[in-house]
């Protein structure tokens, strides 16, 4: 695919951003830990990448989970307080 015009750049940028949003929504998230509440596993100022597909696929918040699995021994569970 050759990019020739500015509209080709806009289409490319649109699809890259759309792909990034879909991946962020369904597969991965990034979290920052500012405190030492998880030492020695996670140190202060660490970033953690969370795999959202590890325990099932959720397409919409609060809806059905497909391919659901339970957390096992040694797994870390991350949640955010409202």
pLDDT classification of 1: cutoffs 50, 70, 90:
low
31 in Cβ contact with 78 (< 8 Å):
yes
Radius of gyration of the chain (CA): 18
| Strand 46-51 versus strand 57-58 pairing type | unpaired
pLDDT reading at 3 higher than 70: no
pLDDT classification of 17: cutoffs 50, 70, 90:
very high
pLDDT classification of 26: cutoffs 50, 70, 90:
confident
Preceding peptide of 53 cis, ω within 30°: no
CA distance 80 to 57: 19
Structure tokens of 1?
């695919």
Report pLDDT digits (tens) over 35-51: 888 888 889 999 988 88
């Amino acid at each position: 695919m050759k990019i020739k015009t500015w509209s080709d750049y806009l289409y490319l940028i649109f699809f890259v951003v759309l792909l990034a949003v879909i991946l962020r929504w369904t597969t991965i998230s990034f979290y920052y830990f500012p405190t030492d509440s998880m030492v020695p596993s996670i140190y202060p100022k660490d970033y953690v990448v969370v795999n959202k597909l590890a325990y099932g696929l959720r397409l919409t918040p609060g809806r059905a989970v497909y391919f659901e699995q339970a957390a096992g021994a040694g797994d870390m569970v991350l949640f955010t307080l409202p």
